[in-house]
Structure 1
Amino acid sequence: MTFCARVMGIVFGTLMLLLAVLITIETLIRKFFSLSFGGIDELGGYAIAVAAPLAFGVAMIEQSHIRINLLHMRLPTAVKAVLNALAALSLGLLAAFLLYFTAHTVLETHDYRSIAQTPWATPLIYPQAVWLVAMSIFAVSAAVLSLKALLLLIKRDWPALNQRFGPASASEELEAELFDLKQREEGAQP
């Protein structure tokens, strides 16, 4: 799953960097030459639609989403484990709903042969098909993690549930940050 998260993160980052470069070029061309490509906003919408589910998947796999665990850390181990499992399962249900909504939208677009109401008049089936692929990747990742959480819940393996699906403690977060800092410092040295 870590490899999958890394690939999704690279694709997400690449899309956002390309979008930033295109927006910068568009802005400079408008400023200095009074010209426009007339569709960068359209491309931006497509990039965000594809990148968002990839970012969701990375945050889910890497457990890098923000959690406020003030109450959570004071609960008994079994209660924490059940709550962590419920969080993973509810995220899996959300991903399934989003996939259903995305597939429904793509099928409607196909049926109506919808085009973008922009200067490019892009047939929406193409960018929406890529959106569907990205959402499918997120949904499959969420389903795999939900299944793992459910199996651990059925086995009542509280330590494993808390380890895999629980928020990191302050000391674990500090340790991870120090490790990242060390990696960056080693990478910067000739």
Structure 2
Amino acid sequence: MNFYGKVAGTAFGIVMIFLSITITAETLLRKFLAFSLGGVDELSGYAVAICAPLAFTVALIHNAHIRINILQNRLPVAGQAIVNLVASVMMSVLAIYLVYFSIRTVIDTATYNSIAQTPWATPLIYPQSIWVFSMAMFALAAIALSIGAARLLLKRDWQGLVRHFGPETVQSELVSELNDLQQRMQREKV
């Protein structure tokens, strides 16, 4: 699953770097040559739409999404495990719905031969198809994690469910931050 997260993160990074270079070029061309590439705002919209599900995927795989856990830490371990399983399944349900919505959008786009109302007049089927693919990547990750959580439930591995699917505790976040600080301080000494 970590490899899958790296692929999604790398794709996200490549698209964002390309977009940054394009926006920089557009800005410099406008400033110094009074020339515009035209459609960079359109390209930005496509990049954000495609990259958002990739970012969702990375956050999901690395358990970095926001979880409100006011009550969860007060539950017994089995209760925390059940909450984590429900959260994992609900994330899968959301991801599946997003893929369904994306596919319906592409079907409508294909039906009406929709094009962007911009200087490029891009047939929307192309960027939307890539968008569906990135949504599907998110859904596959969510489903795979839910299956993993269900397996732990069937084994009654409450600690595993809490460890792999639960939000970080205050202590674990503190340890993580202190380790990060120590690494930065060591790099500064070199």
TM-score (normalizing by structure 2): 0.90
Query: Match for residue 93 of structure 2?
Result: 93
Between 1:143-152 and 1:94-103, the stretch displaced more is 143-152
CA distance in 2, matches of 1:148, 1:118: 44
Alpha-carbon shift at residue 130 of structure 1 (Å): 0.9
Report the CA distance shift for 1:109/1:188 in structure 2 as closer, same or farther (over 3 A): farther
Report the CA distance shift for 1:109/1:184 in structure 2 as closer, same or farther (over 3 A): farther
Where do 5+ consecutive residues of structure 2 fail to align? none
Query: Match for residue 63 of structure 1?
Result: 63
Residues 136-155 of structure 1: CA distance to partner in whole angstroms, max 9, x if unpaired?
A: 11111111111112222233
Structure 1 residue 153 corresponds to structure 2 residue 153 = yes
Alpha-carbon shift at residue 111 of structure 1 (Å): 2.0
Query: What percentage of residue pairs aligned between the two structures are identical?
Result: 51
CA distance in 1, matches of 2:178, 2:137: 31
Query: Match for residue 77 of structure 2?
Result: 77
SS of residue matched to 2:85: helix
Runs of 4+ displaced beyond 4 Å: 178-190
CA distance in 1, matches of 2:68, 2:164: 17
CA distance in 2, matches of 1:22, 1:55: 21
1:153 partner letter: L
Residues 99-135 of structure 1: CA distance to partner in whole angstroms, max 9, x if unpaired?
A: 0111111122122221111100111111111111111
Pairing of 1:1-190 with structure 2 (within 5 A): 1-181=1-181
Between 1:80-89 and 1:111-120, the stretch displaced more is 111-120
CA distance in 2, matches of 1:172, 1:23: 39
Matched residues, number: 190
Alpha-carbon shift at residue 89 of structure 1 (Å): 0.3
Report the CA distance shift for 1:5/1:179 in structure 2 as closer, same or farther (over 3 A): farther
SS of residue matched to 1:97: helix
TM-score (normalizing by structure 1): 0.90
2:128 partner letter: Q
CA distance in 2, matches of 1:66, 1:147: 21
Alpha-carbon shift at residue 181 of structure 1 (Å): 4.9
